[in-house]
Structure 1
């Protein structure tokens, strides 16, 4: 066992003495030492229950003959950080989380680890650590929040966000907005639609790094506690088998993950996190792979924000395993999973509850929601290295659009202008200097997109940014424009009134000016100077562009 290095032999008496100070017994010294990596905290709804799941994991480890040691990582709540300076710190926290897990595991020589994350950048950070460390590991994602209930219908966090825009134009009252504020978010768990947190939980299960059913088992469901306990038991067996993440996850696993992503209409943030995760597994996952698989993988379930169903409906319809069953003719079924079985073997044991609901909620290859997957990658004179849009959440009338640019240097200026009523139907809003380096930190623009949605403009106004969007974004919102403005990408050269061409079916994103004019603007371009200190300054110096996954050297 790896942990023998800290507990075997006379020379390790000092190490054992410190371990015994924590209560470890002589008999436990002969058992595997297992890290329980918990991102529990009091401020994130998706994480406030993880202490209970950690208790279940530790019980499972003890049941199976292991010794658990719990430690914690940081976690940023994107919703609370949204719309202000705090959002600059969300994406950069991903690498900090990964690094802290490496530090703790390497320093203490654990034999294996159970990872317990829930939300947007925290799940990727944990997964990246699993790929980097390559010791036996299993993931217990914390599970979705139940939807709230307001005005006789289900609501969620995005309902509140869009309520701000609706309130600004007088569509809802102060009392209506307060009602949403009070009852839309229903307690523990990640936000109730197919936003980034739940998308990444689905990716974790599709990659084979969590037990079947884990992604959609809700935070308050006893099923989640049982999965946590079973995961604790399973990690002990994985250590005996030396079954490590790199023996489970291959390039074909990432192809499986992307196809599941396309079928569920997941967050555009997967185009950041999966390439960064692949990098930690020693693989290269190009942005173009998402578009390639999107063209051949249908969108099978209509989930919030682009549809009407919530994660609750998805779980009742069979969750990720039901999607895998639908896609079985396309997927690499020979890929291994943490339970020691292949994806195909897991399907043979699949028992989907309520098959009638399954057929109503989840489409088939013959009768999908959309013929293509949820995400499209656009390129052109405005985004030579690519941009990303959740095409499944775009009104068909905006799949092809040409309109005048309204240019804003930063999210704050755009938000103020939108709420002041300056953006009109047909406009193309450009928000720049919000990329990985330019932000720095590549802020999500949910406050902006939700305001446009609440004001009824997402069927007539497009938004383009070198920043990114929340998984809760809907409408013609195109992010991750590369190269970003700070690096002199064409988005830095756009002027008010320039005509912008969007053609999602043709995967095109262009600025309609001559090449000569573009060259002249490029020659005159001087990037703005910003004073950045602290961690963000270090991040700015080392982060790569969005089309690489925003990886950090």
Structure 2
């Protein structure tokens, strides 16, 4: 046991004395110490109920003979942080989550950990920590929020974001907006669509680091608490057998997660996060590999924002394992990969049938023969850009239009809401990348405004920043290299013609190489001075094409 380093031997008498100050007995000293990492706080709706989940996990640990110790980490609500300076801190918080867990585990000698996240950057941050530490670990999330109801129609937070644009366009009254505001988010949980939080909770299940149901059991169901108890018990089994995260999150396991990602039509942010998790697990993943997997994987689900179904519908349809069972029919999964359940993927998915074929399409009748995400390259994105193509209208899969250039998200949002964007335009938002932002902001405000104003079928948006999982339309993010690093997106000028070809995975500005070289000679980066944490982050973070990981300067 790793906890021997803090509790065994004559020289550890002072350590035992301190542990006894917590009320521990000699019997408990002989048992495994399990860290319960709880991202609970009182500001994030997805996390407000995590005390109950943690208590259930602790009971599971105790039932299986372990000693649980709960400790916290931070969590940012992306919805509340959206469209102001707070969004610069969202992606950057992922590193704090991972680092804080590393510190607590290394300092206190835990034998295993139960990780309790729910929202966007907390899930990947915890998975990064699990891969980095490589001690027995189980993830149990807080679960998705149920949808709201307005006039008999299912709604969620993305409905409210889009409604702002509808009000500005005169398509909705402020009274109707208020009704949405009142009812769209009925209670705790991660926002109800296949946005980043739920995407990553489903990915955790697909990776094999969470038990069945982690991605889809609604937050308010008692089944979620039973899952937490089972997770607490299961981590004790992993400690006994010394089954480690990297035994599960190996090359084949991460490939499985990417395949499920394509089938589910997850958030484009999963590309950032799975790449970063793979880096911590010392598994090589690049954007070309992701494209190859997308080309080979049918898209079986269209959940909000790509369609009219929600996480509660996916739960009713059979959840992640039902999707994986469909994929297994075409031998698209590595069946021998181990999971925290103790079963292999092949054993785990067997018998998990689809219960609603309107939610999970049969493998022989998919929404699309290729996956939900595409990586685009060209002279505008030499290292790549990401689009959630399952949420793009067919009319925008190939598009050429005039560039409308903005150096900050807020400038673009103001132009959209003030009616300054025309049908056919291609909005370019730059200096919002990992370093240039810094922080690689999500841009749900401009994309939802376009959708609410009815422009999402005729206007594209390109950025070196990124998008919320709630974004729909021809929204192309993670353009790399970013403008701050001298990427071609920083050379685009107002009125340039931009070509988007999603089927052929191309993204180009239709300007000659000679003109681009001349512009490069005269180019100087726009610098946003930063102090505090963002200043530190800016100095360490890598390209979005590499998962915006932080590298030490050794």
Query: Normalization by structure 2: what TM-score?
Result: 0.98
Correspondent of 2:344 among 342, 346, 359: 342
Tell me whether 285-294 or 85-94 shows the greater mean CA deviation. Answer: 285-294
List aligned pairs for 1:348-427, cutoff 5 A.
348=350, 350-352=351-353, 357-427=355-425
Once residues 441 and 239 of structure 1 are traced to their aligned partners in structure 2, the CA distance between those partners, rounded to angstroms, is 37
Q: Which residue of 2 aligns with 1:63?
A: 63
Residue 209 (1) aligns with residue 209 (2)? yes
Q: Which residue of 1 aligns with 2:476?
A: 478
The Cα of 1:182 is off from its aligned counterpart by 0.7
Query: Normalization by structure 1: what TM-score?
Result: 0.98
List aligned pairs for 1:528-547, cutoff 5 A.
528-547=526-545
Q: Which residue of 2 aligns with 1:282?
A: 282
SS of the residue aligned with 1:91?
Answer: helix
Aligned residue pairs total: 549
Task: Tell me, yes or no, if the aligned pair for 2:145 and 2:191 is still in contact at 8 Å.
Answer: yes
Deviation string, structure 1 residues 361-402 (Cα, Å, up to 9, x no partner): 211221001111100100001111100000000000110000
Deviation string, structure 1 residues 1-20 (Cα, Å, up to 9, x no partner): 11011111222111111111
Once residues 375 and 172 of structure 2 are traced to their aligned partners in structure 1, the CA distance between those partners, rounded to angstroms, is 36
SS of the residue aligned with 1:360?
Answer: coil
Tell me whether 339-348 or 325-334 shows the greater mean CA deviation. Answer: 339-348
Aligned residues: CA RMSD: 0.8
List aligned pairs for 1:21-60, cutoff 5 A.
21-60=21-60
Residue 222 (1) aligns with residue 215 (2)? no
Once residues 80 and 131 of structure 1 are traced to their aligned partners in structure 2, the CA distance between those partners, rounded to angstroms, is 29
The Cα of 1:141 is off from its aligned counterpart by 1.3
Q: Which residue of 1 aligns with 2:84?
A: 84
Tell me whether 137-146 or 287-296 shows the greater mean CA deviation. Answer: 287-296
Once residues 373 and 237 of structure 2 are traced to their aligned partners in structure 1, the CA distance between those partners, rounded to angstroms, is 38
Residue 255 (1) aligns with residue 245 (2)? no
Deviation string, structure 1 residues 506-547 (Cα, Å, up to 9, x no partner): 101000011110100011001123211001111111110000
Q: Which residue of 1 aligns with 2:491?
A: 493
The Cα of 1:358 is off from its aligned counterpart by 2.4
Once residues 11 and 513 of structure 1 are traced to their aligned partners in structure 2, the CA distance between those partners, rounded to angstroms, is 71
Q: Which residue of 1 aligns with 2:102?
A: 102
Q: Which residue of 2 aligns with 1:156?
A: 156
Once residues 336 and 97 of structure 1 are traced to their aligned partners in structure 2, the CA distance between those partners, rounded to angstroms, is 26
List aligned pairs for 1:230-309, cutoff 5 A.
230-309=230-309
Task: Tell me, yes or no, if the aligned pair for 2:484 and 2:527 is still in contact at 8 Å.
Answer: no
Q: Which residue of 2 aligns with 1:333?
A: 335
Task: Tell me, yes or no, if the aligned pair for 2:40 and 2:51 is still in contact at 8 Å.
Answer: yes
Q: Which residue of 1 aligns with 2:501?
A: 503
SS of the residue aligned with 2:36?
Answer: strand
The Cα of 1:214 is off from its aligned counterpart by 1.4
Change (3 A) 1:290 1:351: closer
Once residues 336 and 185 of structure 1 are traced to their aligned partners in structure 2, the CA distance between those partners, rounded to angstroms, is 37
Correspondent of 1:458 among 446, 456, 459: 456
Deviation string, structure 1 residues 398-434 (Cα, Å, up to 9, x no partner): 1000000000011011111111100000000000000
Deviation string, structure 1 residues 204-252 (Cα, Å, up to 9, x no partner): 0001000012110110011111110000011111101011101111111
Q: Which residue of 2 aligns with 1:317?
A: 317
Once residues 159 and 19 of structure 1 are traced to their aligned partners in structure 2, the CA distance between those partners, rounded to angstroms, is 50
Once residues 362 and 289 of structure 2 are traced to their aligned partners in structure 1, the CA distance between those partners, rounded to angstroms, is 23
The Cα of 1:360 is off from its aligned counterpart by 2.7
Change (3 A) 1:351 1:271: closer
Once residues 235 and 483 of structure 1 are traced to their aligned partners in structure 2, the CA distance between those partners, rounded to angstroms, is 41
SS of the residue aligned with 1:361?
Answer: coil
Once residues 544 and 437 of structure 2 are traced to their aligned partners in structure 1, the CA distance between those partners, rounded to angstroms, is 12
Once residues 287 and 186 of structure 1 are traced to their aligned partners in structure 2, the CA distance between those partners, rounded to angstroms, is 37
Change (3 A) 1:401 1:351: closer
Once residues 289 and 121 of structure 1 are traced to their aligned partners in structure 2, the CA distance between those partners, rounded to angstroms, is 23
Deviation string, structure 1 residues 95-136 (Cα, Å, up to 9, x no partner): 111000000000000000000000100000000000000000
In the alignment, structure 2 segments of 5+ residues that lack a partner are none
SS of the residue aligned with 2:291?
Answer: helix
In the alignment, structure 1 segments of 5+ residues that lack a partner are none
Once residues 542 and 3 of structure 1 are traced to their aligned partners in structure 2, the CA distance between those partners, rounded to angstroms, is 32
Task: Tell me, yes or no, if the aligned pair for 2:325 and 2:352 is still in contact at 8 Å.
Answer: no
Once residues 248 and 260 of structure 2 are traced to their aligned partners in structure 1, the CA distance between those partners, rounded to angstroms, is 17
The Cα of 1:74 is off from its aligned counterpart by 0.3
Q: Which residue of 1 aligns with 2:180?
A: 180
Structure 1 residue runs of 4 or more that deviate by more than 6 Å after TM superposition: none
